[in-house]
């Protein structure tokens, strides 16, 4: 039997701008996993650029999944991110039904800084919330966590106690694992909170804020973390290692003057993940 870990990655492809499948494919490959791409949409660039093109791939997704099933493939993880239509959240659950042994990891991409992305409708946000509640592991940022919990973005955690309460709520009392990103609990730092449903452990991690804010760091973080989870790291250790890698990439990008919309220049550091 094959020993390689295999991931069904259900994201968009943004032709320009480091995010989604253009991040997940090289990262998971470098970390020793086979990344099988199921594009949800093709965009000429990510939505941070003006005038991007958008091709909805909804009608191709179920036939692709059923072909994978007919080929006798197995997956260790189903990993979803940015989705292109309200129907696609149900398609992710169809993937879980076809490959029930796979861990379902949902990065519930909907927005940032309290604002939903340009292509997301209220129906898509409702469906993404429903998908997140059926996942084994979710990785929301503060905006997405607020949407899932139907709480004001302004009430986002500012203390460790508040972060732990949000984690419990996001996990539905420990039913699923959660990594909550973008936590700022002290000046000059940024970090995350985690709750591991396997052993009910939870906590927060903070690292110095390096460089600036870059588009696509959530996709990079989730992809690196998944790579470590497939190497049997604990959730806390995988999240910590992924956060440290993001910090290194941000420092390199800031030093080279990389713009926010280009995303962090992770390519030069991929070797550290091998």
CATH architecture of 5-273: 3-Layer(aba) Sandwich (3.40)
Could you tell me the pLDDT band of residue 176, with boundaries at 50, 70 and 90? Answer: very high
Q: Is the pLDDT of residue 209 over 90?
A: no
For the chain, give the longest Cα–Cα distance. 53
Mean pLDDT value across residues 25-43: 98
Domain residue ranges in the chain = 5-273
pLDDT at position 159 over 60: yes
pTM for this model (two decimals): 0.96
Q: Which long-range contacts (CB under 8 A, 24 or more apart) does 115-120 make?
A: 115/143, 116/143, 116/147, 117/47, 117/82, 118/47, 119/47, 119/54, 119/84
For 8, residues 6+ apart whose C-beta sits below 8 A from its C-beta are 36, 38, 65, 68, 75, 77, 78, 79, 95, 99, 102
| Residue 188, pLDDT score | 87
Mean pLDDT, the chain, as a whole number?
95
Q: Residue 58: exposed, middle, or buried by beta-carbon count in 10 A (0-12, 13-18, 19+)?
A: middle
Q: What is the mean pLDDT of residues 159-184?
A: 97
- Residue 2 reports pLDDT greater than 90: no
Write out pLDDT tens, residues 55-85. 999 999 999 999 999 999 999 999 999 999 9
Cross-strand pairs, 5: 33
Q: What confidence score (pLDDT) does residue 144 get?
A: 98
Asked if pLDDT for residue 1 goes beyond 60, the answer is no
């Amino acid at each position: 039997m094959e020993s390689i870990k295999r991931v069904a990655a259900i994201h968009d492809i943004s032709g320009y701008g480091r995010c989604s499948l253009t991040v997940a494919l090289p990262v998971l490959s470098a970390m020793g996993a086979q990344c099988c791409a199921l594009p949800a949409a093709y965009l000429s660039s990510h939505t941070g650029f003006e005038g991007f093109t958008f091709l909805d791939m909804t009608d191709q997704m179920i036939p692709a999944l059923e072909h994978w099933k007919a080929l006798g493939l197995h997956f260790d993880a189903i990993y979803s991110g940015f989705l292109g239509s309200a129907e696609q959240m149900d398609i992710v659950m169809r993937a879980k039904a076809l490959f029930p042994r796979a861990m379902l990891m949902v990065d519930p991409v909907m927005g940032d800084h309290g604002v939903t992305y340009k292509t997301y409708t209220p129906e898509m946000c409702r469906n993404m919330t429903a998908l997140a509640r059926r996942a084994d592991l979710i990785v929301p940022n503060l905006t997405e966590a607020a949407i899932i919990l139907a709480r004001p973005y302004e009430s986002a955690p500012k203390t460790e106690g508040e972060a732990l309460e949000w984690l419990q709520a996001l996990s539905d009392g420990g039913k699923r694992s959660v990594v909550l990103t973008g936590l700022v609990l002290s000046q000059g730092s940024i970090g995350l909170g985690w709750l591991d449903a396997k052993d009910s452990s939870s906590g927060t991690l903070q690292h110095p804020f390096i460089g600036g804010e870059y588009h696509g760091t959530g996709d990079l973080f989730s992809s690196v973390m998944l790579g470590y989870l497939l190497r049997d790291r604990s959730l806390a250790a995988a999240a910590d290692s992924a956060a440290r890698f993001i910090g290194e990439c941000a420092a390199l990008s800031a030093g080279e003057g990389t713009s926010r919309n280009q995303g962090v220049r992770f390519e030069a550091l991929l070797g550290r993940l091998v």
